[in-house]
Structure 1
Amino acid sequence: MDLRIFTEPQQGATYDTLLTVAKATEDLGFDAFFRSDHYMKMGDVDGLPGPTDAWITLAGLARETKRIRLGTLMTAGTFRLPGVLAIQVAQVDQMSGGRIELGLGAGWFEEEHAAYGIPFPKEKFGRLEEQLEIVTGLWATEVGRTYDFHGTYYDLTDSPALPKPAQGKVPVLIGGHGASRTPRLAARYADEFNMPFGTIEEAERQFGRVRDAAEAAGRGADEITYSNALVVCVGKDDQEVARRAAAIGREVEELKTNGLAGTPSEVVDKIGRYAGVGSERIYLQILDLSDLDHLELISSQVQSQLS
Structure 2
Amino acid sequence: MLGAIEAGGTKFVLAVSDNNLEHVEKISIPTTTPEETFDKVFEFFDNYTLEAIGVGSFGPIDVNKNSTTYGYVTSTPKLAWQNVDFLGKLKERYDVPVSWTTDVNAAAYGELKKGAAVGNGSCLYLTVGTGIGGGAVINGEPLEGYGHPEMGHIPVRMHEDDTFDGACPYHGNCLEGLAAGPAIEKRYDKKAQYLEDREDVWKIEAYYLAQALMTYTLTLSPEKIILGGGVMKQTQLFPLIRDEFARLINGYVATPALEEYIVSPGLKDNAGITGCLLLAQKEL
**TM-score normalised to structure 1 length:** 0.30
**TM-score normalised to structure 2 length:** 0.32
Larger proportion of helix: 1
Greater relative CO, 1 or 2 (CA 8 Å, sep 6+): 2
